[in-house]
Chain A
Amino acid sequence: MFDEMHGLDASCRPAYAVVEDWLSRTPPDFLARKEREAEALFRKIGITFAVYTEGGDPERLIPFDIIPRVLDAGEWALLASGLEQRVKALNRFVQDMYHGREIIRAGTVPERLVEGNPCFERKMVGVEVPAGVYTHIAGIDMVRTGPDEFYVLEDNCRTPSGVSYMLENREVMMRLFPDLFARQAIQPVSHYPEELLATLQSVAPPNCPGDPVVALLTPGFYNSAYYEHSFLADEMGVELVEGQDLVVQNGVVMMRTTEGPKRVDVIYRRIDDAFLDPLAFNPDSALGVPGLFDAYCKGNVTLANAVGSGICDDKAIYTYVPDMVRFYLGETPILNNVPTWRCAEADDLAYVLDHMAELVIKAVHGSGGYGMLVGPHASKAEIQEFRAKLQAKPHDYIAQPTLALSTCPTFVANGVAPRHVDLRPFVLLGGDAVRIAPGGLTRVALKEGSLVVNSSQGGGTKDTWVLAPTAQAASQSQSQSQVTRQTVGEG
């Protein structure tokens, strides 16, 4: 099993040298004190994550682990280029689905995956979106199983959340352990809100009269991610609006202010398609704005992410992303998918049914860790129950091997122990550039042996460090690229 700090044996990987040295000198009671300080800081900041199904305290804190997860500059450079490639391909795919569907006509992706997808929005067919951007903000969930083995677990293009934790985790770590930051150069993440704003401004609608006015649309403070909405709006310096704050007049979206109505050009919306506009979608939605979709189609307002971009989140479509990279970009995929069985295909289904106890089986439309079976951790009864669901609707499921997710040293009740982690980097796709904050959100399964990192199921988070390139590494990579050029020249 691969450990982020120790690798495959008990040695220390170079990126963790400072962290290991720090841990070896730090007594557990000091860590315990720092952990309490961290919790107090988070309470003060007000970061909470309400979990819908649990009832109880709706302002529960998501646990934070004070031992960072570290990536070196080389690892990150590879991930970043892979993420950029992947998100570009996903964006092209969404655009294609609402236009010529070339990838379907080429026989690469089956049409039923799109037609049968609840996130596919027929009303978007033929609609042009500013700069052709659909997936402005994407959260790509990744796992690691070895020194060079990174896999994408799923793509989140609907309304990925968690970026506020990435930012606040760093803030808290810098307050708790300034020395650790002084001992090595760690790439900053605090400019993310500015980059998000730049991304949103880069996709102003064609009819925008001047400097684009941006607003963040939230379902309101009962939403579990409300803190994040208010945090991001605050950091970007834009208004945090609810549906009731917006009104469409003559096809233009206006927000109600104390100075009268004011035009809005770009909306970073954190509510789902179905609730955006009761006239176009779910007529019972009280969260949305009547006429919003019409204003969108007329080019008077931009919605980020675009309506209908959630088709990417489908786990059956996920299996085709490497094909998309080849098809749209003509490139070799840099990031790997986890090998996946498509239960819609007879051979795959037969295999999955025979190996349920070994596999992780996921509903293709599910998210947040709900509607999935972790074979090795499931009881016989649970497997039987799931088997019935799977056989009834095989199209709705995919299966993957149970990966040996990497572990990272984590501070738990009985000291420092390895716990499984994943990584959700956030990718911003604008009309002008792709922007990625170095790192992302590391989620950690706090229960010993558990592989489920979702905050809705008791996972926690860690600060994620990407080390700055050292002078030596920088010159190495430069000389390498020179070598590559020479080789090309000679060929």
Chain B
Amino acid sequence: MLSRTASNLFWLARSVERMDYVARLLDVARHMSVLASPNSLNEWHSALIAAGCETPFFELHERSDEAAVLHFLIRDRRNPSSIMSCLVQARNNARAVRAALTLDVWEAINGAYLEAREFDEETFSSDNFSTFVDWAKRQALLFNGAYTNTLLRTENFNFLRLGTFLERADNTARILDVKYHVLLPSFEQVGGSLDYYQWAAILRSVSARRSYHALYKGRVVPWQVVEMLILRPEMPRSLRACYEQVLENLDTLAQRHGGRAGEAHRLAGEMHARLRYSRIDDIFQRGLHEFLTDTIDRTVVIGGEIQKFYLG
């Protein structure tokens, strides 16, 4: 297939996934702001870091107060990662490859776009925050469901999957890292009630509180939350599950192309093996923040290699 078509599909799925992530991230930040610890970085500031938007934000704003951060991450079109920018980007990608999509997929994304065109100040008001976050998450669910349920299993599907799961891997690593930024290491607090609520908020943001209790009996403890989101194959947002999908789709593409595979394939395989055979104790011992930063960096490199090999 044309590289440009593959690229549009890849970025379509990535943009939708990022929209979903930013919505979830803001939801966590909202929860944490209620429970802020006095020593921590401002939780709105940490949301900016977790969204990868710290630098561009401070080019435009002096202070990371709630209103400014919400505006920047939700609807500032100067920010390519804002929810509205992601949606417009996704819709442009979809429009450019309309013929490669089913009607259901097109309607999922175009419907979201058309609804968003009707939004006004009221939509973005503080009172409607939860409604808006739910709306954004629902659009992503609709899109993912539409393409999973209706699209032929051809290359089109593989590139959408790659986009979804590479972006999701990146996001899971980043959302876990928020915790690091919110709570600069202060040992007294680990295991305290504030700590508990913050980990619970992370679980909530990835819709996994119930799942946690299904996997681990008993109360929420940090290393288990981290294990669940990094290493557990049952958890569909875990880094391991994401990389399983990335690798599987790269494998399928290589099969389709008569064995032709590139550096992205090797790196994804390496990453997957690492996640598959790592132990959570070792990750904590070597430093969770370091592990997450390294994962984010590697994911960026893999994205770049996919770009070069297939999409350029």
Partners in one complex: yes
| Residue-wise interface mask of A (403-421) relative to B, using a CB-CB cutoff of 8 A (1 in contact, 0 not) | 0000000000000000000
Q: Is B95 interfacial (CB 8 A cutoff)?
A: yes
Give Cα A54–Cα B310 distance, bound, in whole angstroms.
39
Q: Is A233 interfacial (CB 8 A cutoff)?
A: yes
Q: Which of B238-293 contact A (CB under 8 A)?
A: 253, 257, 260
Interface pair B3/A245, CB less than 8 Å apart: yes
Task: Say what secondary structure dominates the interface of chain A.
Answer: mixed
CB of B158, distance to nearest CB on chain A (Å): 9
Interface pair B4/A258, CB less than 8 Å apart: no
Interface pair B3/A258, CB less than 8 Å apart: yes
Give Cα A242–Cα B253 distance, bound, in whole angstroms.
24
Interface pair B99/A258, CB less than 8 Å apart: no
| Residue-wise interface mask of A (160-192) relative to B, using a CB-CB cutoff of 8 A (1 in contact, 0 not) | 000000000000000000000000000000000
Interface pair B312/A256, CB less than 8 Å apart: yes
CB of A161, distance to nearest CB on chain B (Å): 17
| Cβ contacts under 8 Å, B6 to chain A | 258
Give Cα A244–Cα B2 distance, bound, in whole angstroms.
11
Given A44-B103, A256-B312, A258-B155, verify A245-B98 contact (CB < 8 Å).
no
Interface pair B3/A256, CB less than 8 Å apart: yes
CB of A40, distance to nearest CB on chain B (Å): 13
Report the count of interface residues on B (CB-CB < 8 A): 19
Interface pair A258/B257, CB less than 8 Å apart: yes
| Residue-wise interface mask of A (235-256) relative to B, using a CB-CB cutoff of 8 A (1 in contact, 0 not) | 0000111101100000000011
Interface pair A260/B95, CB less than 8 Å apart: no
Interface pair A256/B99, CB less than 8 Å apart: no
Q: Is B1 interfacial (CB 8 A cutoff)?
A: yes
Q: Please pick, from B4, B95, B155, B257, the residue contacting A245 in the complex, using a CB distance under 8 A.
A: B4
Q: Is A53 interfacial (CB 8 A cutoff)?
A: no
| Cβ contacts under 8 Å, B3 to chain A | 245, 256-258
CB of B10, distance to nearest CB on chain A (Å): 10
| Cβ contacts under 8 Å, B253 to chain A | 258
Give Cα A65–Cα B95 distance, bound, in whole angstroms.
27
Interface pair B99/A242, CB less than 8 Å apart: no
Interface pair A258/B1, CB less than 8 Å apart: yes
Q: Please pick, from B1, B95, B103, B106, the residue contacting A257 in the complex, using a CB distance under 8 A.
A: B1
Q: Is B221 interfacial (CB 8 A cutoff)?
A: no
Q: Is B96 interfacial (CB 8 A cutoff)?
A: yes
Q: Is A201 interfacial (CB 8 A cutoff)?
A: no
Q: Is A368 interfacial (CB 8 A cutoff)?
A: no
Interface pair B4/A230, CB less than 8 Å apart: no
Q: Please pick, from B99, B106, B310, B312, the residue contacting A240 in the complex, using a CB distance under 8 A.
A: B99
Interface pair A233/B2, CB less than 8 Å apart: no
Q: Is A234 interfacial (CB 8 A cutoff)?
A: yes
Q: Can you name the residue of chain B whose Cβ is closest to the Cβ of A229? A: B99
Interface pair B98/A230, CB less than 8 Å apart: yes
| Cβ contacts under 8 Å, A234 to chain B | 99
Interface pair A257/B98, CB less than 8 Å apart: no
Give Cα A94–Cα B149 distance, bound, in whole angstroms.
52
Q: Please pick, from A44, A230, A241, A257, the residue contacting B99 in the complex, using a CB distance under 8 A.
A: A230
| Size band of the interface chain A makes with B | 20 to 34
CB of A140, distance to nearest CB on chain B (Å): 29
Interface pair A221/B312, CB less than 8 Å apart: no
Q: Can you name the residue of chain B whose Cβ is closest to the Cβ of A230? A: B99
Q: Can you name the residue of chain B whose Cβ is closest to the Cβ of A233? A: B99
Q: Is A46 interfacial (CB 8 A cutoff)?
A: yes
| Cβ contacts under 8 Å, A256 to chain B | 2-4, 312
Given A244-B4, A245-B3, verify A221-B96 contact (CB < 8 Å).
yes
Give Cα A95–Cα B202 distance, bound, in whole angstroms.
72
Q: Please pick, from B99, B257, B312, the residue contacting A259 in the complex, using a CB distance under 8 A.
A: B257
| Cβ contacts under 8 Å, B159 to chain A | 258
CB of B264, distance to nearest CB on chain A (Å): 12
Give Cα A36–Cα B4 distance, bound, in whole angstroms.
36
Give Cα A240–Cα B159 distance, bound, in whole angstroms.
18
Give Cα A258–Cα B310 distance, bound, in whole angstroms.
5
Q: Can you name the residue of chain B whose Cβ is closest to the Cβ of A215? A: B2
Give Cα A186–Cα B155 distance, bound, in whole angstroms.
40
CB of B92, distance to nearest CB on chain A (Å): 8
CB of B251, distance to nearest CB on chain A (Å): 14
| Cβ contacts under 8 Å, A220 to chain B | 96
| Cβ contacts under 8 Å, B2 to chain A | 239-241, 245, 255-258
Give Cα A44–Cα B311 distance, bound, in whole angstroms.
30
| Cβ contacts under 8 Å, A231 to chain B | 99
Q: Can you name the residue of chain A whose Cβ is closest to the Cβ of B107? A: A44
| Cβ contacts under 8 Å, A258 to chain B | 1-3, 6, 155, 159, 253, 257, 310-311
Give Cα A222–Cα B87 distance, bound, in whole angstroms.
18
| Cβ contacts under 8 Å, B106 to chain A | 46
| Residue-wise interface mask of A (421-465) relative to B, using a CB-CB cutoff of 8 A (1 in contact, 0 not) | 000000000000000000000000000000000000000000000
Q: Which of A24-58 contact B (CB under 8 A)?
A: 44, 46
| Cβ contacts under 8 Å, B257 to chain A | 258-259
Q: Can you name the residue of chain B whose Cβ is closest to the Cβ of A234? A: B99
CB of B53, distance to nearest CB on chain A (Å): 29
| Cβ contacts under 8 Å, A44 to chain B | 103
CB of B161, distance to nearest CB on chain A (Å): 14
| Cβ contacts under 8 Å, A221 to chain B | 95-96, 98
Q: Please pick, from A240, A241, A242, A260, the residue contacting B260 in the complex, using a CB distance under 8 A.
A: A260
Q: Can you name the residue of chain A whose Cβ is closest to the Cβ of B110? A: A46
Q: Can you name the residue of chain A whose Cβ is closest to the Cβ of B4? A: A245
| Cβ contacts under 8 Å, B99 to chain A | 230-231, 233-234, 240
Give Cα A230–Cα B98 distance, bound, in whole angstroms.
8
| Cβ contacts under 8 Å, B310 to chain A | 258
Give Cα A244–Cα B260 distance, bound, in whole angstroms.
23
Q: Can you name the residue of chain A whose Cβ is closest to the Cβ of B1? A: A258
Which residue of A220, A221, A256 has the most chain B CB atoms within 10 A of its CB atom? A256
Q: Which of B98-133 contact A (CB under 8 A)?
A: 98-99, 103, 106
Can you list 21 residue pairs at the A/B interface with Cβ under 8 Å? Answer: A220-B96, A221-B95, A230-B98, A230-B99, A231-B99, A240-B2, A241-B4, A242-B4, A244-B4, A245-B4, A256-B3, A256-B4, A256-B312, A257-B1, A257-B2, A257-B3, A258-B6, A258-B257, A258-B310, A259-B260, A260-B260
